[in-house]
Structures are given as structure tokens and as C-alpha cells.
Amino acid sequence: MDPQWSEEFVLPLYQVKGLAVKMAVWDHDRIGKSDFLGQLELNLSPSDKGLFGVAQKKDLKGRGSSADVNVKGTINFMMQFSSEIKGQCKLFYHNHKFTGLARAISSGESARVYGTYRVELNHVDQVFGDIYQGWNKNYESAQKIFNSPVVKDVVTTQHNHLYSDISITKTGLLENGQHLLIYLKNGYKGNRPRFFTYAITGHTWYFSETGAAFFVDFTSKHAMHACVAEEVRYAGEFHFQKNTDGSFRLVIDNNSGTYAPNKDHLPRLQKLMQLNFPGLEVEVCDFHDEKLKTYKALLQNNFK
């Protein structure tokens, strides 16, 4: 096999000292577990003239840092450096129309389309560093998941189904905050405000509408979005509030019993969103904050 790609990836620099580019190649299965094929790492800076604009051929190696790690193959690529790069986050929307139809038939409800979203984020490592949020060992629901291999397998299957490539119906590039607002329609469906549940693992922001009946039976929505990761970068809920001038702002919190993210790291979450979605006003709230409860009540009352 000699697979060919014609894909362009934009990697914005957050730290001007340089950039460590890691490439990992996987055999991605649509339903089952994906297989790791090999990786390489390049430490770059704008002064590395020999690496930019020239076709490169590098060995893909197995995991590990020693020189005797087995070579898994080679990869060909070319890199370009630009001093004026826009932020780009690739978005994937997964449509679960038929699953929603099946639920409607079994429950007697009207049919609805249920969707999940994943957005590939930049700057995660630079903003969070070595900070992770482990699963909450004091939370009974989390204990039932993470202490049971069977339940973990079930939740993993749920994640793989809801984020399967088969279900992708829309893709896009988000270059700024306005693009995010347009794509999510300012957080509304018709005239109804929407609330979202999210988890950030690796470099990906996974989320879905919080109140969707389709997700009610899940043991933990956060664990599902995170594919039962032992630790995440952050997790919680978010929605959009309308400002007095008619613009909208993202309100994002740490409301996750499964991972119980530390509120002291909310400023990092805010910075991450601002870097990925330039121009977007971002407000972070601890889930205990009375202001957050007021925001939600205001939206719900206005809908009534």
C-alpha cells in the first residue's frame, strides 16, 4: 500500500521560540479500535531554512525515544513557513438522523436529528502544559464507569458510534469567533436556546447539545465525549449569551461531575478559546457561580 494525501494543515505558532511538530499515522477503523502505525517529531523554528519549502522524507518509528526503536515506514511531506497565518480549526459535524428516528419510534416522540461535534484545536499543549483533569474518584457515577471494564467498553462503543467517520455530514474550517457563532447559530435552534456538554481530550473539543433526549440514557455524557479517557484537558458545559449591543459571547464552565475540573484553570480554558477563535468574547464561570445560574434561568425564561 502507498496511500496518498493532498491535505494541508495550518499550525499557528503560539510561542515564537519554535514549534515541535509531531506526526502520528494511524490505521483508523470506522467502528473498531484504531491501530497506531508510527510517528515522527521535528523541532522547528523560522530559522530552519533547510526544512521549509523542500520535500522531506522521514522515517516513522514506533513509540519511544531510543535510537533502536523499530522503523515503521516513511512519510513524505513539505512544510512552508508564513509570518501571517490565520488560526484554523477543523470542524466535523456528525449527524445521527436514523438513530434519532429509531428512538422516536420506540418512545412515541416526534423524530429529531441529533448531532455531535468535534473541533480540532490549536495551542492546547502550550496553554495547558502538563495540566490534566483526572476522573473524579469521589463521584459515584464515575466510579461505576472507570472501575468496570465492561462499562468502559460500552461507553467506548458509544463514543466510536457517535463520532464515526460514517456519520460525518458536514466539515468546515473555523478561522475566528464569528465562524463559530455562525456555525452554531449563536447557540439557538429556531428561537430555542441550546446548552452544550463538552470535553477536551488531546487536541480535540468534543461536544453535543446537553438537553437532547438521545443522550439521556448515557451513564456519563462527559465520559462518552472523552471516550472514557482517564484524564482530560477540561470538561463542562457551555452556551451563548446575547450582549446589549446584539453581539454574542461564549459562556463556558467546569460543570462535570465525572472529571470535576479545577476552577483555578478556568483562565487557561478562556485563553485557549480566545486563541482558537480570535474576536470571540469568552466568559468563564465556575459551576457554583450564582451568575451562571442566572444566565441559564434568563435564557430559559425568555424561551417560555
- Model confidence over 138-167: pLDDT tens digits? 999 999 999 999 999 989 988 988 888 887
CB of 209 closer than 8 Å to CB of 196: yes
pLDDT, residue 16, reads 46
Give the tens place of pLDDT for each residue, 227-238.
999 999 999 999
Q: Which of 24-28, 35-39, 46-50, 198-202 has the highest mean predicted lDDT (pLDDT)?
A: 198-202
pLDDT > 90? residue 267:
yes
Nearest to 252 by CA among 264, 270, 268, 265: 270
In the chain, domain spans:
1-85, 89-303
Confidence of residue 89 (pLDDT cuts 50, 70, 90): very high
pLDDT > 80? residue 276:
yes
pLDDT, residue 70, reads 65
pLDDT, residue 100, reads 47
Confidence of residue 35 (pLDDT cuts 50, 70, 90): confident
pLDDT, residue 104, reads 41
Ranking 10-19, 221-230, 271-280 by mean pLDDT, the lowest is 10-19
Task: Give the residue-averaged pLDDT of 104-112.
Answer: 46
pLDDT > 90? residue 26:
no
Confidence of residue 49 (pLDDT cuts 50, 70, 90): low
pLDDT, residue 41, reads 78
What is the average pLDDT value for the chain, to the nearest integer? 81
Q: Report pTM.
A: 0.74
pLDDT > 60? residue 215:
no
Q: What percent of the chain has pLDDT over 90?
A: 47
